[in-house]
Structures are given as structure tokens and as C-alpha cells.
Amino acid sequence: MRSVIFAAALALLAVPAPAFAADEATLGCVADGATPAARAEVERYVRGMFGEADGDAQQAVTGLDAASRVCAKRHGWSDNARKGAIAYTMATLGLETASEELRKHGSDPVRFTELFNELPQSLRENVPSGDVPPEFEAMMEKAWSEGLLPDEAAQQAATQFLALLFIRDIGLAAFRAG
């Protein structure tokens, strides 16, 4: 499942970056312009990550695409920045639902976010390939020692939550590179 999520993030961002960056102050434009139907698609997708719905990443992206195109035109974003904004928005909107799921399994999404944010920025903004980076392993060991992963269900919920945090930061990096 995690590889599907990362593949979707990579597909969104697989275009060369131009020489100028998008204005980060305009990043909320996609969320602000997302229709209720688009927001529902994102929630359905995230609930699907937790086995509670039949969500589809492509439908969630498509739902945000119209708003992203309006924002790109309004703010002069490149296509790479627009795609980064979609990934960032999808993850950011999805984190609320994912936080609920993590709490259901006895874990703390705020603490997980803090641990994630302690990782080096270069690691948070890139999809890990090959072996799991030692910093990520250390973060997970810390989560274990703090009791954030009480059982297998909490571990699975944490994996999905962390995937959304990666997508958020990868999208933000693409938007900044715009």
C-alpha cells in the first residue's frame, strides 16, 4: 500500500522544475478552491487507506485538479508547482482523517508529526528507496519506546499517517521548486 501512495506522489511530481519558485503564501489556494465533492474524494481515498472505504488516489487527484488549474493561472504557478500543490493539499486534507484513525488505535498523531518533523528535511522531502534510512528506523524505535505503537493495528495506522506526511512534504518541496 505504501508503495502505491509513494508512486502516486512521484507520478504527480515527475516533471522537470523551471527556474522560478511559486509563492508559498498562495499554497492554500487549492484547498480553498476545492469543491465539497473533491474534498469527499480525498476523504474516501484516505479512509480507503485504512480499509474503511473504497477510495482511489487518481479520483482524489482529479477532484483537486480543477482547483489547482484555477490557482496556477491566478498565481502564475508552473505545472510542477501545481502538481506539488495537489499532492500537498491531498495529504493535508487527508491528515485530519488519518489523525482520527491513529487516535482510534491508541496513538498520538501530534507526537508522530513531531517525530517525523525531527527527521532531516532532505529525508522528509524524498521518497526513500532501497533500504530504510537509519534516521527513519530511529524515529520508529522512538515511537515504540514512547508507546505510540501498542499493537499491529496502530502500526498499520502509523504507516498510513506517515505516508501522508511524506506526501505533504514532497508536495511542498515540489511546489517550492516550482
Walking along the chain (178 residues) 10 residues at a time, the average pLDDT comes out as 45 44 90 95 90 82 94 95 96 94 94 95 83 89 94 92 94 92
Length of the chain, in residues: 178
Is this prediction's pTM over 0.95? no
Coil, helix or strand at residue 22: coil
Confidence (pLDDT) at 12: 46
What is the C-alpha separation between 120 and 135, in angstroms, rounded?
8
Amino acid at 102: L
Query: Angle at CA 159, nearest 5°, toward 116 and 130?
Result: 80
User: Which cell numbers hold the place of 51?
Assistant: 480499509
By CB atoms closer than 10 A (0-12, 13-18, 19+), residue 5 is buried
Confidence (pLDDT) at 110: 97
In 3D space, the residue among 87, 84, 142 whose CA is nearest the CA of residue 117 turns out to be: 142
Describe the crossing of helices 152-177 and 109-117 by its angle, rounded to 10 degrees: 50
In 3D space, the residue among 142, 132, 106 whose CA is nearest the CA of residue 2 turns out to be: 132
Confidence (pLDDT) at 21: 63
Confidence (pLDDT) at 19: 38
Confidence (pLDDT) at 10: 44
CB contact at 8 A, 65 and 87: no
User: Which cell numbers hold the place of 119?
Assistant: 527527521
What is the C-alpha separation between 43 and 38, in angstroms, rounded?
9
Confidence (pLDDT) at 169: 95
